[in-house]
A = this chain, B = another copy of it.
Amino acid sequence: MDGENTFKQWKKQCLNKIDFSKKGSVDEAISNIVSCLNDSDNYFTTSSCSGRIILIDGVSDSTDIQKQNCSWLFVTHQKCEKADLCAGLEKSVGDAVLKFEPFVLHVQCKQLEDAQRLHSVAINSGFRNSGLTVGKKGKIITAVRSTHCLEVPLAHRGKVLVDEGYIDFLVGVANQKMEENHRRIERFYDCLQSSFREKIGKCYSEGETKEKSVYKRRRKRTEEHSKRDFCENVKRHTESELEDDFESGLSLFD
């Protein structure tokens, strides 16, 4: 029972911590997911963000990739407006970059089997860059992640490099990504509840909607193909690992 008590202790310590984030609270769009996990005996969340569109101002000509000295010109966890971006860009004095960053979640899990279940939920919901970490002290974390992103330089040394027409188009692209992000969050919550009910890590097995899981889509394609496509199937099976990383659907394997 030592492992169980250790996990309970870790959970208690973590959930009692003060929220030091800039925002100071859990993002609304994912509060149901966070509650669902923290109410379970086998999980607790350690960090999360529902996704955001941010305009950051980095130091020009900096080689520091981590950009620890960026300032925030604008941030939203919802869709954005062209006026917000333009207003933010006016304040730029360095290299302004617009980024879309999707939902991300870190969850500590009691046992490996719990982590695997949550990992399946994440993959089935479209968060295909998700993975586990297993620490030396037995700490098991599932990180829910996606490659779904946008990163667009817009200003250099405070000078805006694009016209308003481009900013308008970009706002549309960023908002589409935010919409897709919210759809995937809903899918994640549905899959999570399904998983808790069935404890088998699958979802959409009953009353399946048109939106099929990635795993089901792959299996269906495999069944439909003829021998001519056998080689193509082998390629897809192994390349699907890289597809999970490259959402452009283009992949390589060795």
Contact A47 B133 (CB under 8 A): no
Closest chain B CB from A209 CB (angstroms): 16
A: which residues have CB within 8 A of B? 14, 17-23, 25-27, 34, 45-49, 54, 56, 63, 65-68, 70, 72, 99, 101, 104, 106, 112, 115-116, 119, 129-136, 141, 143, 145, 147-153, 156, 161-162, 165-166, 169-170, 173, 176, 180, 231-232, 234-235, 238-239, 241-242, 245-254
A173 to B244, CA, bound (A): 25
Chain B nearest CB from A21 CB (Å) reads 4
Q: Top 9 nearest A-B pairs by Cβ distance?
A: A131-B131, A20-B235, A21-B252, A47-B253, A26-B254, A132-B132, A68-B249, A47-B241, A106-B241
Q: How far is the CA of A141 from the CA of B180 in the complex (A)?
A: 28
B residues in contact with A70, CB < 8 Å: 248-250
| B21:A65 contact, CB within 8 angstroms | no
Q: How many copies of this kind of chain does the complex include?
A: 2
Given the complex, which residues of B lie within 8 Å of A47, measured CB to CB?
238-239, 241-242, 251-254
> Given the complex of chains A and B, what is the CA–CA distance between A115 and B134 in angstroms?
9
Known contacts A250-B54, A251-B47: A132-B129 contact under CB 8 Å: no
- Asked, given contacts A133-B132, A252-B22, whether A238 binds B17 with beta carbons under 8 Å apart, the answer is yes
State in angstroms the CA–CA spacing of A123 and B55 once bound together. Answer: 27
Query: What would 14 A/B residue contacts be, using CB atoms closer than 8 Å?
Result: A17-B238, A18-B231, A21-B235, A46-B238, A47-B241, A49-B242, A49-B252, A65-B247, A68-B249, A104-B246, A106-B242, A116-B135, A116-B136, A129-B145
A220 CB to closest chain B CB (Å) equals 14
- Tell me whether A46 and B253 are in contact in the complex, defined as CB-CB below 8 angstroms, given that A56-B248, A239-B20, A242-B104 are known contacts: yes
In the bound complex, do residue B253 and residue A48 qualify as a contact, i.e. CB atoms below 8 Å apart?
yes
Q: With contacts A20-B239, A21-B254, A254-B19 known, is A66 near B116, CB below 8 A?
A: no
